[in-house]
Structure 1
Amino acid sequence: MKKNKLNLLLDAVLLLLTAGLAGGGFLVYYVLVPGREAKAIYGHYAELKFWGLSRFEWADIHLILCFIFLAVLFLHIVLHWKMLINMMKTCFRRTRYHRPIIFLLIFFTLGIMILPFFIQPEIQGRMPESSLHLLDEQIRIAPEQPVQIQNHNTGQQIKKSQSSTLSAVEGHKQEVDIDVNGRQTLREACIQHGISAKDLCSALHIPYDAKNERLGRIKRKHNLTMTYIKEIILQLKATSE
């Protein structure tokens, strides 16, 4: 393939990748909004999907496109390196600073791309994970069922207790605008909402070792939904209060 055709092909690929990155960003930010914004739009927590993929899965695709874009861009720069050097020499022909300028540009470009890997996130809220007692292996609020007990008064008390528990949980769901997203690790979400990571892992039926994994990865790996995870967190918070 001639160099001119190769350059044209690379330019076309870069254009398509740029459009894909922009479109993917618009899709994740404006269409597949997170749970809190979805509640404001649709009146309840909902996990939005497009082509069967959630916003976190589209974010993964966006990252893959970013890597491909960087690879094609690197190839494009390599093929045009001599032209870039000649242009720099022409612009700075009276000075000897064209090389330092190129190296500084490369240094800052690589620095900006590598910097996120060294950033430590801020974790808001602290609570020891061992502060709460273990819950049952399956933590769900079951529908109210009649309790068959010979003592009528005792049965009424149990039934009343179940009703009050259900009311408390439903009220808690309505009052609390829970802030949970797939980029958080399970442990970070537990610290933020004051519940035990061990309890949450048990309620979700996942191994305790998954506490340091991101919720988005846990959701895909164990076939869960963010709505279900949020409901379990709400139930754990209601139980601990």
Structure 2
Amino acid sequence: MTLCMSAIVGIGFLMKYTLISGQERWEIYGRNVELYLLGMDRHQWGMLHLILGFILLGLLVAHIILHWKIITNVYKKIIKEPLTKKTIAIVFIILCALLIVIPFFVEPEIETVKKGHGRQVTLVTNIKH
């Protein structure tokens, strides 16, 4: 799990600071260029980042299953009141489920870019000044 998490963090930093977004490439290089590392572009590294995230999620589930007795025993020692135990468990489960499921139900704001407007035109204008 530690190796997987380290790879996820490293690839995240790689995409943020080395294989920068299109807007930042315009600012730095003054034109639209594509950046590669080991023959892969930013989107391909992003896909690897996602796959490693799913692998980490699977490892985490396996870790919880294998250590379930320890988890429940520690939980019982920390929280003595049965109603409080149930309440905290239910709230925790609901919050986790919401954080996982909500992205599938939200819709992005959609805005049509008019000719002569948008990020690239603004960047080119800012670079010339």
Q: TM-score range by the shorter chain?
A: 0.7 to 0.9
Q: 1:82 — aligned with what? A: 69
Q: 1:23 — aligned with what? A: 10
1:73 offset after TM fit, Å?
0.1
Q: 1:232 — aligned with what? A: none
Structure with more of its chain in helix, by fraction: 2
Matches within 5 A, 1:94-173: 95-96=81-82, 97-125=84-112
Question: TM-score, normalised on structure 2?
Answer: 0.82
What SS class does the counterpart of residue 107 from structure 2 fall into? coil
Amino acid at match of 1:90: K
With a CA cutoff of 8 Å and minimum separation of 6, indicate the structure with the bigger relative contact order.
2
8 A contact 1:36–1:178 mirrored in 2:
no
1:114 offset after TM fit, Å?
1.5
1:92 offset after TM fit, Å?
1.1
What SS class does the counterpart of residue 59 from structure 2 fall into? helix
1:102 offset after TM fit, Å?
2.1
Q: How many residues align?
A: 118
Question: TM-score, normalised on structure 1?
Answer: 0.46
Query: C-alpha root-mean-square deviation of aligned residues, in Å?
Result: 2.0
Alignment identity in percent? 35
Which ranges of structure 1 fall in alignment gaps of 5 or more residues? Answer: 1-13, 128-171, 180-241
Which ranges of structure 2 fall in alignment gaps of 5 or more residues? Answer: 123-129
Q: Say yes or no: does 1:52 pair with 2:34.
A: no
8 A contact 1:24–1:62 mirrored in 2:
yes
With over 3 angstroms needed to count, the CA separation of the structure-2 counterparts of 1:64 and 1:79, relative to structure 1, is same
Amino acid at match of 1:177: Q
1:178 offset after TM fit, Å?
5.1
